[in-house]
Amino acid sequence: MVRPPCCDKVSIKKGPWTPEEDIILVSYIQEHGPGNWRTVPTSTGLSRCSKSCRLRWTNYLRPGIKRGNFTPHEEGMIIHLQALLGNKWAAIASLLPQRRDNDIKNYWNTHLKKKMKKIRVASDSTTIGQYSSKSFNYSRSLDISRSNHGSSFRPSQSQTHSSTYASSTENISRLLQGWMRSSPKQPLKEITQEEEKFQSYDEFENSNNIVKSASVPASLNLQLQQHKTKNEHDMVSHEEFDSILSFENLNNAPWDKSTCDSMPENVYVASVKGAEKNRVTSENSNAPPLSFLEKWLLDENVGHVEEMIQLSPMF
């Protein structure tokens, strides 16, 4: 039996990280950059395994992470991306700037899952006929919502900052600032000007050839297909999913590049490819090209999901 390369020593510390450990880790990463985690514990003297260091960095210390309550916009994004992708938290997180997959996962499990359950129970108590008309109303309400809000959402472009990586002193001072607010429960931490600098971390990652999020939108179509065939637990029912797809009155919408101007280029490319794929796979269905769904998901209007919930009796 081969022992795992990590976390196999008795001396390895577990449990919550202390501020001192955080400072040591951040200082080291500021100096050497993220990666080569194997050497981190030995180089820093931390009694943590390399994996623990990496997780602590990526899930907590990494710059550009937004903490605190989710906005209605983000909530709507999560609901619909979960409907589209299932429990692909990393993929969902890649479309929600600054949010960690762990946070999204937690938020789904603690808040949204219950919410969706209620919705499901509510919709189960109605007849199928009523359901389909409600599904239609939902589509309409989406349309209304869309027409009322013209701005667009640009996940990465909206946060184009200098690609300069923050200095270690800044990073550590950020940590200290957080700890100075002694309250252990620390919701809704406003993003300060200083923290704005850290929002360019994705660019920093890109410059280091760590491009993981870029590939996600391209996989949307595949995952949608998988969703259709795979009966994963915790995912919305087929009926709910179909209701999301039931944009009957949108089938004739033009799907040219101009409709996708608000999305990042890579998403657009993926969408076009996906739409072409859909022409083959959904010939006999009324579902709109997935590119629309992708665009819609990336559209700011989805943030007004609560409005839509109020508008639509389905919710």
Partner DNA sequence: AACTGGACCAACCGCGAATGC
Partner DNA sequence: AGCATTCGCGGTTGGTCCAGT
Q: How far is the CB of 95 from DNA (least distance, A)?
A: 12
| CB-side neighbour CA atoms (13 Å) of 127 | 2
Q: How far is the CB of 233 from DNA (least distance, A)?
A: 7
x/- mask, DNA, residues 34-73, rule CB under 7 A, reads: -xxxx---------x-xxx-xxx-xxx------x------
DSSP H or E stretch at residue 177 = helix 168-180
> Rule CB under 7 A: is residue 98 a binding residue for DNA?
no
DSSP per-residue letters across 52-120: HHHHHIIIIISTT---SPPPHHHHHHHHHHHHHH-S-HHHHHHHSTT--HHHHHHHIIIIIHHHHHHHH
Q: How far is the CB of 123 from DNA (least distance, A)?
A: 21
- Tokens read off for 57: 């960095």
> Rule CB under 7 A: is residue 117 a binding residue for DNA?
no
Q: How far is the CB of 55 from DNA (least distance, A)?
A: 6
DSSP H or E stretch at residue 278 = helix 265-281
**DSSP designation for 276:** H
Question: Which of 218, 235, 228 lies closest to 277 in space, CA to CA?
Answer: 218
Contact indicator for 149, 300 with CB cutoff of 8 Å: yes
x/- mask, DNA, residues 221-250, rule CB under 7 A, reads: -------------x----------------
Binder of DNA out of 1, 121, 185, 283 (CB under 7 A): 185
Contact indicator for 243, 79 with CB cutoff of 8 Å: no
Closest to DNA by CB, 58 or 152: 58
> Rule CB under 7 A: is residue 88 a binding residue for DNA?
yes
Candidate ranges 74-82, 83-91, 194-202, 273-281; the one touching DNA (CB under 7 A): 83-91
- C-alpha 116/C-alpha 233 separation (Å) is 13
Closest to DNA by CB, 48 or 134: 48
Q: How far is the CB of 107 from DNA (least distance, A)?
A: 6
> Rule CB under 7 A: is residue 15 a binding residue for DNA?
yes
**Given the rule CB under 7 A, which residues bind DNA?**
2, 5-7, 13-17, 35-38, 48, 50-52, 54-56, 58-60, 67, 87-91, 101-103, 105-107, 109-111, 114, 184-185, 187, 210, 212, 234
